[in-house]
Amino acid sequence: MKILALVGSPRLGGNTDFLVAQALGEAARLGARTEKIMLSQYRVAPCLGHDDCGSFESCVQKDDTSWILDKFCEADGVILATPVYYYNVTAQLKAFMDRNYYLYTHSQKSQAKAVGIIVVAQSEGIEDTVHTLKRYINEVFRIPKDGILELHGFAFKLGEAKNNPKLVKQAQEFGRKMVESLESI
Protein backbone atom coordinates (compact mmCIF):
# COMPACT_ATOMS: atom_id res chain seq x y z
CA MET A 1 0.00 0.00 0.00
CA LYS A 2 1.56 3.28 -1.14
CA ILE A 3 0.38 6.66 0.11
CA LEU A 4 1.67 9.81 -1.57
CA ALA A 5 1.25 13.27 -0.08
CA LEU A 6 1.63 16.39 -2.21
CA VAL A 7 2.21 19.46 -0.05
CA GLY A 8 1.48 22.93 -1.44
CA SER A 9 3.04 24.94 1.37
CA PRO A 10 6.35 26.60 0.55
CA ARG A 11 7.16 26.66 4.30
CA LEU A 12 9.37 23.67 5.10
CA GLY A 13 8.51 22.38 8.56
CA GLY A 14 5.42 24.61 8.55
CA ASN A 15 1.97 23.75 9.82
CA THR A 16 0.81 21.84 6.73
CA ASP A 17 4.10 19.99 6.38
CA PHE A 18 3.96 19.04 10.07
CA LEU A 19 0.37 17.75 9.94
CA VAL A 20 1.11 15.74 6.80
CA ALA A 21 4.14 14.21 8.54
CA GLN A 22 1.91 13.20 11.46
CA ALA A 23 -0.62 11.57 9.14
CA LEU A 24 2.06 9.76 7.13
CA GLY A 25 3.88 8.72 10.30
CA GLU A 26 0.76 6.98 11.56
CA ALA A 27 0.09 5.42 8.16
CA ALA A 28 3.66 4.10 8.05
CA ARG A 29 3.33 2.72 11.58
CA LEU A 30 0.33 0.77 10.33
CA GLY A 31 2.31 -0.69 7.44
CA ALA A 32 1.85 1.75 4.53
CA ARG A 33 4.73 2.88 2.32
CA THR A 34 4.62 6.66 2.37
CA GLU A 35 6.15 9.53 0.47
CA LYS A 36 5.83 13.27 0.91
CA ILE A 37 6.57 15.68 -1.92
CA MET A 38 6.94 19.36 -1.07
CA LEU A 39 6.00 20.85 -4.42
CA SER A 40 7.98 24.04 -3.76
CA GLN A 41 11.19 21.98 -3.84
CA TYR A 42 10.66 20.96 -7.45
CA ARG A 43 10.09 22.61 -10.79
CA VAL A 44 6.36 22.50 -11.39
CA ALA A 45 5.72 25.33 -13.84
CA PRO A 46 2.23 26.71 -14.44
CA CYS A 47 0.25 25.31 -17.39
CA LEU A 48 1.00 27.12 -20.68
CA GLY A 49 -2.60 26.83 -21.80
CA HIS A 50 -1.93 25.96 -25.44
CA ASP A 51 -4.81 23.49 -25.04
CA ASP A 52 -3.21 21.00 -27.38
CA CYS A 53 -1.95 18.37 -24.87
CA GLY A 54 -3.78 15.70 -26.84
CA SER A 55 -1.36 16.09 -29.78
CA PHE A 56 1.67 15.20 -27.66
CA GLU A 57 2.86 11.99 -26.03
CA SER A 58 4.06 13.87 -22.99
CA CYS A 59 3.58 17.39 -21.67
CA VAL A 60 5.64 19.83 -23.73
CA GLN A 61 6.98 21.39 -20.54
CA LYS A 62 9.94 19.29 -19.41
CA ASP A 63 10.13 19.81 -15.68
CA ASP A 64 9.53 17.71 -12.56
CA THR A 65 5.78 17.49 -13.12
CA SER A 66 5.95 14.38 -15.29
CA TRP A 67 7.51 12.09 -12.67
CA ILE A 68 5.34 13.56 -9.91
CA LEU A 69 2.28 12.85 -12.07
CA ASP A 70 3.48 9.26 -12.58
CA LYS A 71 3.65 8.75 -8.82
CA PHE A 72 0.30 10.50 -8.42
CA CYS A 73 -1.32 8.09 -10.89
CA GLU A 74 0.26 4.97 -9.38
CA ALA A 75 -0.28 5.63 -5.65
CA ASP A 76 -3.01 3.72 -3.81
CA GLY A 77 -3.74 6.71 -1.63
CA VAL A 78 -3.13 10.41 -2.29
CA ILE A 79 -3.15 13.29 0.18
CA LEU A 80 -3.42 16.86 -1.12
CA ALA A 81 -2.33 19.33 1.52
CA THR A 82 -2.25 23.10 1.44
CA PRO A 83 -2.41 26.17 3.62
CA VAL A 84 -5.11 28.66 2.65
CA TYR A 85 -3.69 31.53 0.62
CA TYR A 86 -6.33 34.14 -0.13
CA TYR A 87 -9.22 31.71 0.26
CA ASN A 88 -7.70 29.05 -1.94
CA VAL A 89 -4.89 26.58 -2.46
CA THR A 90 -1.34 27.91 -2.84
CA ALA A 91 0.15 28.70 -6.23
CA GLN A 92 2.43 25.66 -5.92
CA LEU A 93 -0.49 23.26 -5.61
CA LYS A 94 -2.58 25.08 -8.21
CA ALA A 95 0.25 24.80 -10.74
CA PHE A 96 0.34 21.05 -10.16
CA MET A 97 -3.46 20.80 -10.42
CA ASP A 98 -3.48 22.65 -13.74
CA ARG A 99 -0.75 20.42 -15.12
CA ASN A 100 -3.16 17.49 -14.62
CA TYR A 101 -4.85 18.80 -17.74
CA TYR A 102 -2.47 16.60 -19.71
CA LEU A 103 -4.01 13.52 -18.05
CA TYR A 104 -7.51 14.82 -18.72
CA THR A 105 -6.85 15.26 -22.42
CA HIS A 106 -5.47 11.69 -22.54
CA SER A 107 -8.45 10.27 -20.60
CA GLN A 108 -6.20 9.22 -17.74
CA LYS A 109 -7.04 9.33 -14.05
CA SER A 110 -5.14 8.51 -10.90
CA GLN A 111 -5.78 4.95 -9.75
CA ALA A 112 -5.84 6.01 -6.08
CA LYS A 113 -8.65 4.42 -4.08
CA ALA A 114 -8.35 6.74 -1.12
CA VAL A 115 -7.95 10.50 -1.33
CA GLY A 116 -7.55 12.93 1.54
CA ILE A 117 -7.23 16.67 1.88
CA ILE A 118 -5.46 18.63 4.60
CA VAL A 119 -6.16 22.37 4.74
CA VAL A 120 -4.70 24.84 7.23
CA ALA A 121 -5.71 28.48 7.64
CA GLN A 122 -5.06 31.30 10.06
CA SER A 123 -8.73 32.16 10.36
CA GLU A 124 -10.84 31.87 7.19
CA GLY A 125 -11.07 30.43 3.71
CA ILE A 126 -11.13 26.74 4.57
CA GLU A 127 -14.56 26.14 3.02
CA ASP A 128 -13.61 27.77 -0.28
CA THR A 129 -10.35 25.82 -0.42
CA VAL A 130 -12.05 22.51 0.38
CA HIS A 131 -14.60 23.26 -2.33
CA THR A 132 -11.86 23.85 -4.92
CA LEU A 133 -10.06 20.66 -3.95
CA LYS A 134 -13.22 18.55 -4.02
CA ARG A 135 -14.16 19.78 -7.49
CA TYR A 136 -10.66 18.96 -8.68
CA ILE A 137 -10.66 15.50 -7.04
CA ASN A 138 -13.94 14.75 -8.75
CA GLU A 139 -12.21 15.33 -12.10
CA VAL A 140 -8.98 13.45 -11.61
CA PHE A 141 -9.81 10.44 -9.41
CA ARG A 142 -12.34 7.67 -9.70
CA ILE A 143 -13.64 7.87 -6.17
CA PRO A 144 -17.06 8.92 -4.88
CA LYS A 145 -17.41 12.45 -3.49
CA ASP A 146 -18.27 11.16 -0.03
CA GLY A 147 -15.11 9.02 -0.04
CA ILE A 148 -12.79 12.02 0.46
CA LEU A 149 -11.11 12.19 3.86
CA GLU A 150 -10.82 15.68 5.30
CA LEU A 151 -8.69 17.37 7.90
CA HIS A 152 -8.77 21.10 8.46
CA GLY A 153 -7.56 23.26 11.24
CA PHE A 154 -6.44 26.69 12.27
CA ALA A 155 -2.81 27.65 12.69
CA PHE A 156 -0.83 30.71 11.72
CA LYS A 157 2.75 31.05 12.89
CA LEU A 158 5.37 28.39 12.32
CA GLY A 159 4.97 25.66 14.92
CA GLU A 160 1.39 26.49 15.88
CA ALA A 161 -0.01 23.20 14.58
CA LYS A 162 2.67 21.33 16.50
CA ASN A 163 1.52 22.98 19.72
CA ASN A 164 -2.12 22.03 19.15
CA PRO A 165 -2.51 18.51 20.60
CA LYS A 166 -6.07 18.16 19.27
CA LEU A 167 -4.99 18.90 15.72
CA VAL A 168 -1.98 16.59 16.02
CA LYS A 169 -4.27 13.77 17.15
CA GLN A 170 -6.69 14.50 14.30
CA ALA A 171 -3.80 14.30 11.82
CA GLN A 172 -2.75 10.91 13.18
CA GLU A 173 -6.36 9.69 13.01
CA PHE A 174 -6.50 10.94 9.43
CA GLY A 175 -3.48 8.74 8.60
CA ARG A 176 -5.08 5.76 10.31
CA LYS A 177 -8.39 6.26 8.47
CA MET A 178 -6.53 6.44 5.17
CA VAL A 179 -4.92 3.05 5.83
CA GLU A 180 -8.20 1.53 7.04
CA SER A 181 -10.00 2.83 3.98
CA LEU A 182 -7.39 1.21 1.69
CA GLU A 183 -7.44 -2.03 3.64
CA SER A 184 -11.21 -2.24 3.32
CA ILE A 185 -11.10 -2.20 -0.50
Ligand X SMILES: Cc1cc2nc3c(=O)[nH]c(=O)nc-3n(C[C@H](O)[C@H](O)[C@H](O)COP(=O)(O)O)c2cc1C
Q: Give the footprint of ligand X on this chain (CB under 6 A).
A: 9, 11, 14-17, 83-87, 120-125, 155-156
Q: Which is nearer to ligand X, 9 or 181 (CB)?
A: 9
Q: Which is nearer to ligand X, 109 or 134 (CB)?
A: 134
Residue number of the CB atom closest to ligand X = 14
Spatial contact of 121 and 128, defined as CB atoms under 8 Å apart: no
Residue 67 CA to residue 53 CA, distance in Å, equals 17
Residue 39 CA to residue 13 CA, distance in Å, equals 13
Residue 175 CB, shortest distance to ligand X, in Å, is 17
Residue 43 CB, shortest distance to ligand X, in Å, is 20
Residue 90 CB, shortest distance to ligand X, in Å, is 8
CB contact set of 151 (below 8 Å; sequence gap of 6+): 19, 23, 116, 117, 118, 119, 170, 171, 174
